[in-house]
Amino acid sequence: MNPYQNHYPVYYTPYMLVPVNPLQYQQQIVSRQYPDVTTKKFQESSQAYQNLINDSQIISQRFAESGNLRRKVMRAAQKSDHNTVVHLIQNTGISHPIEVSYNPDSIKVTIMDIEESPTSKLIMALRW
């Protein structure tokens, strides 16, 4: 007796070969009408983003040049003094509002557009 022989009955599923008509599956080509694109909002967003880039350059330059600022920001973050962290970054000379979050590995600064309906935001993520 074969020790590897299975003792289960074998079942076969019957199937039929049905001829397929390729025209049956051919999809009709539908020409869709799309509305005209307006680029005004895209232009406004791009222009606003340039200002956000300027602020991000100010922040990164101040972080790169000032060991004192880096130290103060890291110490305040370590103490979970969120208001001080935001205040220190806001006082680098930027003109846009920011949101700041941090953890033991990094800091994330989100620079937002000033308008009533913001069109852009820039997120800086820096490791420390």
Q: Where in the chain are the domains?
A: 41-127
Q: Is the pTM of this model over 0.75?
A: no
- What secondary structure, in 3-state letters, does 51-104 show? HHHHHHHHHHHHHHHCHHHHHHHHHHHHCCCHHHHHHHHHCCCCCCCEEEEECC
pLDDT digits over 22-57, tens only?
A: 666 666 666 778 888 888 888 888 888 898 999 999
Higher pLDDT, 21 or 40: 40
- Lowest-confidence range among 13-22, 48-57, 81-90, 113-122? 13-22
